[in-house]
Structure 1
Amino acid sequence: MAQTYGPLMMIHLGTVPVLVASSADAAKEIMKTHDLVFANRPQLNIPSKIFYGNKDIAFSQYGEYWRQIKSIAVLHLLSNKKIHSFQHVRSDEMGLMMDKILRSNGSVLNLSELIIALTNNMVCRVALGRTYEGRKFENLLQRAMELLGCFSVGSYIPSLKWVDQLSGLVRKADDVAKEFDEFLEGVIEEHLDEKRVGVEDRDLVDILLEFQRDNLKGFHLERDMVKAIIMDLFAAGTHTTFTSLEWAISELLRHPQTMQELRQEALEIGQGKSSIPEDDLDKMPYLKAVIKETLRLHIPIPLLIPRESTQDVKLLGYDIPSGTQVLVNAYMIARDPSNWEEPEEFKPERFLNRPIDYKGFHFELIPFGAGRRGCPGVQFAMIVNELVLANLVYKFDLELVGEEVFDMSETNGITIHKKSPIIVSATTRF
C-alpha cells in the first residue's frame, strides 16, 4: 500500500482514523518536528490487559506518570553506569552458552534455543536477581508478543468488542496476564523477604522497590506499576534482543563471504585469547555494520508502537486531526530505494563509510523509534548482540544442517522473528 499510495496514507480501522507514515521525511516530522504532538499512545485493549492498564513505559499515555517512570528507567535502570555494572552477568551467560556449543562436539544444535536461553537468563539475572529455571519463559513471552500483534476488533469498533470474546482473544490475553502476574508476585515477595546488602548486588526489582518504599519526590509507585515496568524490561530485553541475534546469524549463514569478513575481524581483535571482551567491541566496525544491516532488513517491530496525535497539526502539507492514531512504517522506510541502494540485499558494507546509526537521529533507520517515545533500552540490547555475535564467529565455524534452502520466513506478532529455528553444527576454531 505504501508503494502505491505514498509516504502518508490515511486509513480507517473501524471508527479510528489511522495515519501510516512510510518515508524518512514523514517519520522525522512525527518523531522530531512534531514529537510532542505525537507523543501519546492510543489505549488498546490487549496491551492494557497485559501491562496492568498500560502502566508500563512503552504503552502508557503521555503525561506526568510516563515522565516519572521514564526518568526512573533512564537514570536508574538503564543508565550507562548500571549497564556496565552487569558486565559480569553478560560474560558469565555468554561463557555458559559457548561451553554448551563446545560440548556438542560438532553434533546437531538448535542454536535458536541456545540464544533464547541466553537472553532469558541474562535479563532474569539483571532484572530479577537470578535465573528461573523450569519456567516456560520463552513460551509465555511468545504468547504475549503474538497477542500484542493481534488485531483487536474492540479497540477500533467498540460496539463489536464482543467479537474479541467470541474469537478467544480476550481469554488468551487474560490467561497470559494472569500467568505473568503470578510469576511477578512471586518475584516481588522473594525480594521483600530477603535482606539484600551491597549496591552492586542490587537488581532492577530492588531499585524499583526502593523507589516504592522511599516515595521519592512525592511520586508513589504502586505494586501494579512496579510489575508493569518489570514486564516492559523483560519483554523488550529478551524478545527483541533474541530476534535481532537470530536474524543476524541467519543472514551470516546465507552469506558466507560476509561471515568470513566478520570472522577475520574477530580473529584480528581476539589475537588468540579465549574470548573477545566487551571493551574490544568498539574496535570492530564490521561487526557493527553487520548488526545495523540486520536491523535494517529485520526491524524487530516493523510498525513500531502506535502513537496518537493530541492536537490538530499540519504534516507534509496535510491537516491531521487530534486523536489520529499513527503507525510509522519503519519496515518500508528501511527498504526505501530512495534511501538505500539495492535495499533488498544484505550488504553490511553500506554502513562502513556512512555515519548513519539506529539511535533515533537518522530517520532512514529507526528500529527502536526516536524522540520522546524512543526505546530507552537500546544500549542494553545492542551490547548483548555485539558480544554474542563477535564471540560466536570468533570461536566457531557454523554450518547449516539438513536444509537445501534456508527458510527465512517470519512469524506473526508485534515482534517479527524467524519462523523455523537455526539448526547447525559447530566446530571450534581453537
Structure 2
Amino acid sequence: MLLWYKLKRSSQLPPGPNSLPIVGYLPFLGPDLHKQLTNMAHTYGPIFKLRLGSKLHVVINTPELAKSITRDQDQTFANRNLSVAASVITYGGQDIVWSNNNSHWRKLRKIFVHEALSNKNLEACSSFRNDEVTKTIKNVFGRIGTAVDINQVSFLTESNVLTSMILGNTSPEVSLHLGAELQTVAQNINEIFGRSNLSDFFPSLAWLDLQRVERDMKKQLKMMDRIIERMIDERTKSNSMISHEGVHDHEGKKDFLQILLDLKNQEDGTPLDITHIKALLDVMIAGAETTATLIEWVLAEVMQNHDVMERVQKELEEIVGLNNMVEESHLSKLQYLDATIKETLRLHPVVPFLIPRSPSQDCTVGGYTVPKGSTVLLNVWSIHRDPRYWDNPLDFKPERFLACLETKKWYNGNNLNFFPFGSGRRLCPGLPLAEKMLMFISASLLHSFNWSLPHGEKHDLCEDFGITLRKKKPLIAIPSQRLSHVNLYV
C-alpha cells in the first residue's frame, strides 16, 4: 500500500490554483508577478503549477528544489522555452542565453568564455574599462549641480566598454553614437519583453499577433541588425585594405569581432555564419542593460540608507584616498562595497525568475512530476527574501555578506540561498565582466561624488516587473564634488 501511494504521488503534477477552461489562470495574473507567485507559494507550497492558456508553468520557491533543477538534474533542465519575443530577437534561439542545451550552444559559450571573457583577455582589456569609467566621471563632473540619470550614465559606460572589447579602440564620437543607439534598442526590447502576449499561451493564435509583440520586436531586430551589420561591413572593408591578417588593438591582440570573423572563414571544423556572429554580439545590449539596472538599484539603496553611504564612502576614502581616482587594483579591497552590491542583488535580482528552463523529459522534483516541455520558473526574488534563509530579510544589511570570509564565491551559484546570476551550466556567461563593471562603476560614482535627490523628491524603491526588474521611477540624482582637487576629474 505504501509503495502504491509513493508511485501515485510521484506521477502527480504539483498542486496549484483552480483554473478556468481554455484560458487557465491567465485572467488572474497581476502586474507584479514576482510578488503574486511568492504569495501563492504560501498557499500551495514550495512547488506549484499554473495552467496559462495551453501552457503548463511550474514555479520553484526554495533552494532545496532549485538544487534539484540546477545541480542534480541540470542536464535535463538545461533547455529553454522560447517566447515569441525571445525567438524573434535571438534569431530563433541562437544566442547564448536562449539557445537550448545542444552542440551549437556549447560552441557559442566556449567561444564567448574562452575568447572574450577569459582571465587573460579581461586583463588585456582593463585599459578599456579604465578609460570609459574615467570619461564617465569627467562627464558627470561637467554636470555638477544638475540632474543626472544614473541608469543612462551606467548604460553608456558599460556599452562603451563592450564596444571597445568587441571592436578595439574606437573614437569617442563613434562610441557615443553607438551607445545611444544601443540604449534606444535596449529600452524598446525590454518594454516589449514586459508585455503579456497571448501568442505565448495559445500558439494556435500566434499568426494573429494580437498584441503586436512579434511585429514590434522584428522592428527592434532590424535596428540591431543594422548596428551589427554596419560594424561587420566596416571591419570587412578595413581588412581588405590592409596586408596583415586581422585588426588588433594597441597591444597586438585581436578584438572579439575579428576573432569571430576569422572563425567564420575557417575551413576546418564547423564555421560560424553571420547569424551566429550576430547572436553572439547581442551581448552588447543584454550585458549593458542588466548592469546599468543593477547600478541604479545600488545607488538608490545606498542613497536611502545613510549609514551604508557613510560606511561605503569611508572605506573608499581609506582604500583609494580623496587625492586619487578609483582604479581596478582597489576593487578587491573594497569589501563593504562588495557586500553592498551583493545585498542589492539579494533584494533586487535583475532577472527575478532567471531565464525560464524547460525539461527535456518527464522528471520528478519534490515528489511531483514536471512534464517534458513545461516552463519552469525559479523564483529567485522569493528565495532571496525568505525568512527561513535570511534574518530580517526585508532590511538592507550589507553586513550579512561580510560574515562569510569567502564572499567572492557567492556568485558562482553553489549557494542556492543566493543565486542572482543563475546556477549550473546555465550560469550567466557574462558574470566575470559584470562583476568587474558593477564594482568599478559603483565605486567610482560613490567615491568621486556626493549624491542627493532633486529638491522635493523622495526616495522610491518601487519595482517595475518585466523580464528584468527595473526601478519603476528612474533614479535622477544630483552630484556634488567630493574629491579634494578639480584636476582629478579632468
Indicate the TM-score class for this superposition, using the shorter chain for normalisation. Answer: over 0.9
Match of 2:49 in 1: 10
Match of 1:191 in 2: 235
Match of 2:381 in 1: 331
Counterpart code for 2:65? A
Tell me if structure 2 keeps the 8 A contact 1:2–1:332: no
Paired residues for 1:4-403 under 5 Å: 4-129=43-168, 130=170, 131-134=174-177, 135-163=180-208, 165-195=209-239, 196-198=246-248, 200=251, 201-215=253-267, 218-231=269-282, 233-354=283-404, 355=406, 357-403=410-456
Once structures 1 and 2 are overlaid, which stretch shifts more, 259-268 or 202-211? Answer: 202-211
Once structures 1 and 2 are overlaid, which stretch shifts more, 15-24 or 254-263? Answer: 15-24
Q: Could you give the per-residue CA deviations for residues 129-178 of structure 1, whole angstroms, max 9, x where no partner exists?
A: 43443343212111112223333322321122245x23221211111111
1:406 to 456, 459, 475: 459
Match of 2:473 in 1: 420
Tell me if structure 2 keeps the 8 A contact 1:269–1:276: no
Distance in 2 (alpha carbons) for counterparts of 1:13 and 1:376: 30
Distance in 1 (alpha carbons) for counterparts of 2:461 and 2:390: 22
Once structures 1 and 2 are overlaid, which stretch shifts more, 48-57 or 96-105? Answer: 96-105
Shift of 1:256: 0.9
3-state SS of paired residue (2:361): coil
Shift of 1:408: 2.0
Runs of 5+ consecutive residues of structure 1 not aligned to the other structure: none
3-state SS of paired residue (1:307): coil
Q: Could you give the per-residue CA deviations for residues 282-332 of structure 1, whole angstroms, max 9, x where no partner exists?
A: 111101100100111111110111111011222121122222221111111
Shift of 1:391: 1.9
CA distance change for structure 1 residues 309 and 403 in 2, over 3 Å: closer, same or farther? farther
CA distance change for structure 1 residues 13 and 275 in 2, over 3 Å: closer, same or farther? same
Tell me if structure 1 keeps the 8 A contact 2:147–2:477: yes
Counterpart code for 2:385? R
Distance in 2 (alpha carbons) for counterparts of 1:266 and 1:352: 16
3-state SS of paired residue (1:311): coil
Counterpart code for 1:378? L
Distance in 2 (alpha carbons) for counterparts of 1:423 and 1:219: 48
Once structures 1 and 2 are overlaid, which stretch shifts more, 369-378 or 393-402? Answer: 393-402
The structure with the largest alpha-carbon Rg is 2
Tell me if structure 2 keeps the 8 A contact 1:35–1:371: yes
Tell me if structure 2 keeps the 8 A contact 1:248–1:294: yes
Runs of 5+ consecutive residues of structure 2 not aligned to the other structure: 1-39, 240-245, 485-490
Distance in 1 (alpha carbons) for counterparts of 2:480 and 2:281: 38
CA distance change for structure 1 residues 204 and 336 in 2, over 3 Å: closer, same or farther? same
Distance in 2 (alpha carbons) for counterparts of 1:345 and 1:359: 24
Counterpart code for 2:325? S
3-state SS of paired residue (2:474): coil
Distance in 2 (alpha carbons) for counterparts of 1:104 and 1:15: 52
Tell me if structure 2 keeps the 8 A contact 1:141–1:239: yes
Q: TM-score of the superposition, structure 1-length normalised?
A: 0.95
Distance in 2 (alpha carbons) for counterparts of 1:391 and 1:214: 42
Counterpart code for 1:167? Q
Tell me if structure 1 keeps the 8 A contact 2:386–2:393: yes
Counterpart code for 2:192? L
Tell me if structure 1 keeps the 8 A contact 2:199–2:210: no
Q: Could you give the per-residue CA deviations for residues 65-94 of structure 1, whole angstroms, max 9, x where no partner exists?
A: 111111111111111111121111111111
CA distance change for structure 1 residues 340 and 215 in 2, over 3 Å: closer, same or farther? farther
Tell me if structure 2 keeps the 8 A contact 1:10–1:19: yes
Once structures 1 and 2 are overlaid, which stretch shifts more, 312-321 or 33-42? Answer: 312-321
Distance in 2 (alpha carbons) for counterparts of 1:116 and 1:321: 39
CA RMSD after TM alignment: 1.7
Match of 2:25 in 1: none
